[in-house]
Structure 1
Amino acid sequence: MTRLIRNIAGGLVAGATLALGAAAQAQETVKLTILGIGDIYEFSDKDGVGGVARLNAVARAERAANPNTLYVFDGDMLSPSLLSGFDKGQNMIDLTNIVPFDIAVPGNHEFDFGMDNFVEKMKASKYPWAAINITKADGSPLEGLGGVMWKEMAGLRIALIPVAQDTSPEVSDTGDLVFLPTVETAIEAAKAARGEGADLVIGVVQTPMPNDRALIASHAFDVIMSGDDHSYATAYDGVTAYVETGMDGRFIAPLDLYVTIGERRGERHVSWKPNFRFIDSANVEPDPETQALVDAFKAKLDESLNVEIGVTEVTLDSRRNVVRAEEAAIGNLIADAMRAATGADVAITNGGGIRGDRTYEPGTVLTRRDILTELPFGNVTVMTEITGAQILDALENGFSRVEEGAGRFPQVSGLTVVWDPSAEPGSRVVEVKVNGAPLDLNKVYRVATNDYMLAGGDGYAALGGGRVVIDKGNGNLMANDVIDYIAKMGKVTQTVEGRIRRVGE
């Protein structure tokens, strides 16, 4: 009897072992690599770091090492850059066409030269553009812009969820396009894709980190590749792997997913583990084909831009954290040039339009290249007549999102402003004077600004409520006004002089 029980037990163990072995044999583990990139503003490297030639070299190497590689772009390359001021971003299309993306999501800067230019650049691309939350005004799709992309790769059914930034109409020239809410639209699409049998759901998004956190917390995605914040970051909460893809290809983070495909309770089951890798582009040899085109672009620029226009006698600081948070000498220079060019009472320009992100020490000889690097958007100096009340509303907007580093922070001429950062947005301006006199809310003033802000960009709707004296069609390029101003003066002497002060300063 004991022997019989042992035989039965032995048979059961053997059967179980065979079953486990069959299950083990039925499982398959594959490696999927996701390479994300975004916020590429400079086609060339800077001091041996970044640039499209190094980026393309990495993309080629990743695809060669693993055929199961997805190469995705999460927004912002057509602008702003020095060369884009001339070709409206065509240089980036030419360079990225050499090693095409699997999918590209438009960032807000894809619309800096208008919707028609973006459509033209989509047609010139050798890769597909997509965004599920962009439609025409009537709700119909924008020609050439796709939606959710399905990929069959390594035995996996993969859904790519492309989502643009819903604040794009505030910060760029999107025409009459409609941008649906980024977070809600993305989560809904991700859940729908899962319901349609996606093994992996990958978000390719251009949106700031607070939205990224909401997307991660939804647990609707396996992977999120995100741009917009200009920072490098990776995270994994046990459900969703996240990569913030950085800026200009300086630091590159390929994500490897080791995916196990098998069965659980008779149904297909997919699980995965992430492996984050870090590539410092300083250690990457540029792709020769791309570098040849980069060199050609650089030669074209050098010929016309290395023209000296004047010397700065003061330190000019155009770093992002400065021009978006406080009075800056370079902001004073630009605003003074705009006011001089138009004869306006005051000038207001947005700190986010100043893009050089560098300092110029006293004695630096400034060139046309420097100014066009600082002002790469091709904006035009315009002038409007508005009341003091509208100026106050415009300034309140300018100080409303300083904590976020928003580009709407005002750089001014002809004005002195005291503001309170502890007050609620919309009630932060404490005092305004125009050329030494208190702001008269009922008086009409001539205000020089740029065409982007006049059209309501960066939330400056208050500037558009008056009589336009110089419109976009009749104004000069801001950069040219600044170049001419410096050339006429021969030197730059503007300093931080108290035009913008916080309460108590």
Structure 2
Amino acid sequence: MNAMKFDVVAMGNHELDFGQDVLKKRISEATFPVLAANVLGMEELKPYAIKEVGGVRVGILGVVAEDTPLLTHPGNVAGLTFLPVQEAVEKVLPEMKKRSDMVVVLSHIGHPADRLLVEQVKGIDVIIGGHSHTKVANPPVIGETIILQAWEHGKALGVLDIIYENGRMKSAKGYLEDIKPTEGGADKSVEAVVLKHKIIVDSVLNQTIGETDVDLDGENVRRRETNLGDLVADMIRDVSNADAALINSGAIRTSIRRGEIRAKDIYSVVPFDNYIVAVKLKGRQIQAALEHGVSAAEKGVGAFPQVSGIQFKYDLSAPPGARTREIRIKGRPLDPEEEYAVATLDFIASGGDGYKAFGDAITSSKDYSVIGGAMKGEKLVYSDPGKWLRDIAIEYIRSRKKVSPQTEGRIVEVKRQ
């Protein structure tokens, strides 16, 4: 990013995935400011920056999704306060306007929220958005504000041409340019940075750990059961010897093609620093967790569950909170009052991704505590904070040498006739 000479960067929710210390270190290494006006508690984050472009003072304000605490491990946001975006922008805007000729909001809140922000707060000239991975080919103008977003994963370059005359933005035109990585040679300065670090990690990440006879589907985990979702849930259940396992699909980030599996594939699939725990839950708490998992299934959210030792059906035509049907644990109907050991990730066990049933169960322990980032409590029947999920996955596949998981009807959508 330094080699690309960015002027400013807005914080996104994933900046906290590896903890505050790592984020602070990355910011200290950056040659540009990292902006988040609605985050309090980390002095390294700045609310805004002023850049002069063609003689025009451009004020750039950063905001991040206010539900970020739900999207990362609770320990990663300890001591931080996430203000409502509207409140933060309204607080900073008057000061910015005194120091700048034009106001740009660099947001990581999603395109629908960008549009809402324009209606809530006047005086914003431009919003450059992210988070929702929206391809905004023809940026809308709402009132006097143009709203842009350049899609995702470096697929396009967002361009905004502004004509500024007589103290105001006279016109603005935004568009996308397709990026074709195969055309042209590599940038020498960026190539040097990449090669320096590539040599260090390649010897580890290129190790072959096993093979798969089938494509492992990580693309569709947010909408349905997949064989990769089953495989990861099985790993977690197996290592913890639990009755069942439940994870959020957001923990699985990509697919693996049929053939050799390398360590780097696992790092891509499960990149987060999550460890495995098993929690005592009553049947009714498991049902509540599953209800939460499918409460927004039609939207393809990361909270959608992948399970092992559990079978259930759900009905999208039913209201959220009343969608699950025919829940079974280890082949037997779920008993609302029976206690089961359910394996999951520490992120979910802490109530992450909105899984309140897990969080409430853990914190209800009389001896509940968090020491050095590791949870303790009578409701925990298994906990190994010394091993990340990706380490477990590498060991699991290496010990079996070959995997070929198939979906088994663990999660079935039913539709009313």
Same fold (TM over 0.5): yes
Tell me what 1:211 maps to.
113
Q: 1:118 to 1:397 in 2, by over 3 A?
A: same
Please identify the structure whose Cα radius of gyration is greater. Answer: 1
Q: How many percent of aligned residue pairs carry the same amino acid? A: 33
CA contact (8 A) 1:451 1:472 kept: no
- Structure 2 letter corresponding to 1:381: I
- Structure 1 letter corresponding to 2:23: F
Q: 1:181 to 1:503 in 2, by over 3 A?
A: same
Tell me what 2:37 maps to.
132
Q: Separation in 1 of the partners of 2:53 and 2:312?
A: 58
Q: Separation in 1 of the partners of 2:52 and 2:194?
A: 34
Cα deviations across residues 410-458 of structure 1 (Å, max 9, x unaligned)? 1000000111112222222122100111111211111111111111111
Cα deviations across residues 106-135 of structure 1 (Å, max 9, x unaligned)? 111111112222222222222112211111
| Partner of residue 390 from structure 1, selected from 255, 280, 285 | 285
**TM-score scaled to structure 2, two decimals?**
0.87
User: Across the two proteins, how many residue pairs are aligned to each other?
Assistant: 391
Tell me what 2:202 maps to.
302
| Partner of residue 324 from structure 1, selected from 197, 200, 222 | 222
- Structure 1 letter corresponding to 2:110: P
Q: Separation in 1 of the partners of 2:169 and 2:158?
A: 22
| Partner of residue 459 from structure 1, selected from 346, 354, 367 | 354
Q: 1:374 to 1:424 in 2, by over 3 A?
A: same
Cα root mean square deviation, aligned: 2.1
Cα deviations across residues 294-349 of structure 1 (Å, max 9, x unaligned)? 12333333211222222222332111xx1101000000001111111110110111
Q: Separation in 1 of the partners of 2:140 and 2:133?
A: 19
Any stretches of 5+ residues in structure 1 without a counterpart? 1-95, 137-141, 262-268
The range that moved more, 478-487 or 210-219, is: 210-219
CA contact (8 A) 1:147 1:162 kept: yes
Deviation at 1:470, TM superposition (A): 2.8
Q: Where in structure 2 are the equivalents of 1:63-212 lying within 5 Å?
A: 96-136=1-41, 142-172=42-72, 173-187=76-90, 189-190=92-93, 193-194=96-97, 196=98, 198-212=100-114
Secondary structure of the residue aligned to 1:232 is coil
The range that moved more, 289-298 or 412-421, is: 289-298
Deviation at 1:499, TM superposition (A): 0.1
CA contact (8 A) 2:162 2:169 kept: no
Any stretches of 5+ residues in structure 2 without a counterpart? 363-378
Q: 1:152 to 1:315 in 2, by over 3 A?
A: closer
Deviation at 1:394, TM superposition (A): 1.3
Q: Separation in 2 of the partners of 1:285 and 1:277?
A: 25
Q: Where in structure 2 are the equivalents of 1:256-275 lying within 5 Å?
A: 256-261=161-166, 269-275=167-173
Cα deviations across residues 8-65 of structure 1 (Å, max 9, x unaligned)? xxxxxxxxxxxxxxxxxxxxxxxxxxxxxxxxxxxxxxxxxxxxxxxxxxxxxxxxxx
Cα deviations across residues 202-233 of structure 1 (Å, max 9, x unaligned)? 11110122201212444532111111122331
- Structure 1 letter corresponding to 2:16: F
Tell me what 1:469 maps to.
381
The range that moved more, 452-461 or 483-492, is: 483-492
Question: Does 2:263 align with 1:368?
Answer: yes
CA contact (8 A) 1:187 1:215 kept: no
Secondary structure of the residue aligned to 1:365 is strand
Q: Separation in 2 of the partners of 1:99 and 1:450?
A: 36
Tell me what 2:399 maps to.
488
- Structure 1 letter corresponding to 2:45: L
Tell me what 1:42 maps to.
none
Q: 1:368 to 1:157 in 2, by over 3 A?
A: closer
| Partner of residue 123 from structure 2, selected from 213, 220, 223 | 220
CA contact (8 A) 1:397 1:426 kept: yes
CA contact (8 A) 2:317 2:415 kept: no
Tell me what 2:345 maps to.
450
Deviation at 1:192, TM superposition (A): 6.2
Q: 1:155 to 1:493 in 2, by over 3 A?
A: closer
CA contact (8 A) 2:59 2:96 kept: yes
Secondary structure of the residue aligned to 1:149 is strand
CA contact (8 A) 1:351 1:411 kept: yes
Q: Separation in 2 of the partners of 1:443 and 1:152?
A: 65
- Structure 1 letter corresponding to 2:174: F
Tell me what 2:251 maps to.
353
- Structure 2 letter corresponding to 1:469: V
Tell me what 1:236 maps to.
140
Question: Does 2:414 align with 1:414?
Answer: no
CA contact (8 A) 2:279 2:381 kept: yes
Secondary structure of the residue aligned to 2:385 is coil
- Structure 1 letter corresponding to 2:410: R
Question: Does 2:188 align with 1:288?
Answer: yes
CA contact (8 A) 1:230 1:247 kept: yes
**TM-score scaled to structure 1, two decimals?**
0.73
The range that moved more, 148-157 or 325-334, is: 148-157
- Structure 1 letter corresponding to 2:116: A
Deviation at 1:197, TM superposition (A): 6.8
CA contact (8 A) 1:97 1:126 kept: yes
Tell me what 1:59 maps to.
none
CA contact (8 A) 2:211 2:403 kept: yes
- Structure 1 letter corresponding to 2:27: M
Q: Separation in 1 of the partners of 2:270 and 2:309?
A: 21
Deviation at 1:99, TM superposition (A): 3.3
The range that moved more, 247-256 or 327-336, is: 247-256
Tell me what 1:68 maps to.
none
